[in-house]
Amino acid sequence: MENFKFKKSFGQNFLNDVHILENIVKESNIQDNSLIIEIGPGSGALTRHIASVAKNVLAYEIDTRLEDYLDEVLSQFHNVDIIFDDFLNRNISDDIKKYQFDNIYVVANIPYYITTPIILKLIESKINFKAITLMIQKEVGERFTAKVGSRDYSSITVFLNYYFNVKKLFLVSRNSFTPKPNVDSVVISLTKNNKEFDVLDEELFFRIVRDAFQFKRKNLRNNLKKYNLEKINDVLKKYHFDLTVRAEKLSVDIFVDIANTLARK
Write out the residues near ligand SAM by the rule CB under 6 A. Answer: 10-15, 39-43, 45-46, 60-63, 86-88, 109, 111, 114
As a whole number of Å, the end-to-end CA separation of the chain is: 60
In the complex, what is the shortest distance from the CB of residue 167 to ligand SAM, in angstroms, rounded to a whole number? Answer: 20
Nearest residue to ligand SAM by CB is 40
Q: Using the minimum distance from each CB to ligand SAM, give the nearer residue, 44 or 235.
A: 44
Q: Using the minimum distance from each CB to ligand SAM, give the nearer residue, 69 or 163.
A: 69
Q: Using the minimum distance from each CB to ligand SAM, give the nearer residue, 5 or 264.
A: 5
Bridging pattern class, strands 103-109 and 131-137: parallel
In the complex, what is the shortest distance from the CB of residue 255 to ligand SAM, in angstroms, rounded to a whole number? Answer: 31
Segment holding 15, helix H or strand E: strand 14-15
Question: Between the CA of residue 86 and those of 43, 44, 47, 60, what are the distances in Å?
Answer: 16, 17, 17, 7
Give Cβ neighbours of residue 186 (< 8 Å, ≥ 6 apart): 135, 136, 137, 138, 141, 142, 168, 169, 170, 171, 172
In the complex, what is the shortest distance from the CB of residue 186 to ligand SAM, in angstroms, rounded to a whole number? Answer: 13
In the complex, what is the shortest distance from the CB of residue 42 to ligand SAM, in angstroms, rounded to a whole number? Answer: 3
Cβ distance 100 to 158 under 8 Å?
A: no
Q: Using the minimum distance from each CB to ligand SAM, give the nearer residue, 118 or 131.
A: 118
CA distance 70 to 182: 26
Cβ neighbours of 260 (radius 10 Å): 17
Q: Using the minimum distance from each CB to ligand SAM, give the nearer residue, 90 or 218.
A: 90
DSSP letter string over 195-264? Answer: S----S-HHHHHHHHHHHTSSTTS-HHHHTTTS-HHHHHHHHHHTT--TT--GGG--HHHHHHHHHHHHT
In the complex, what is the shortest distance from the CB of residue 170 to ligand SAM, in angstroms, rounded to a whole number? Answer: 15
In the complex, what is the shortest distance from the CB of residue 24 to ligand SAM, in angstroms, rounded to a whole number? Answer: 9
Q: Using the minimum distance from each CB to ligand SAM, give the nearer residue, 40 or 141.
A: 40
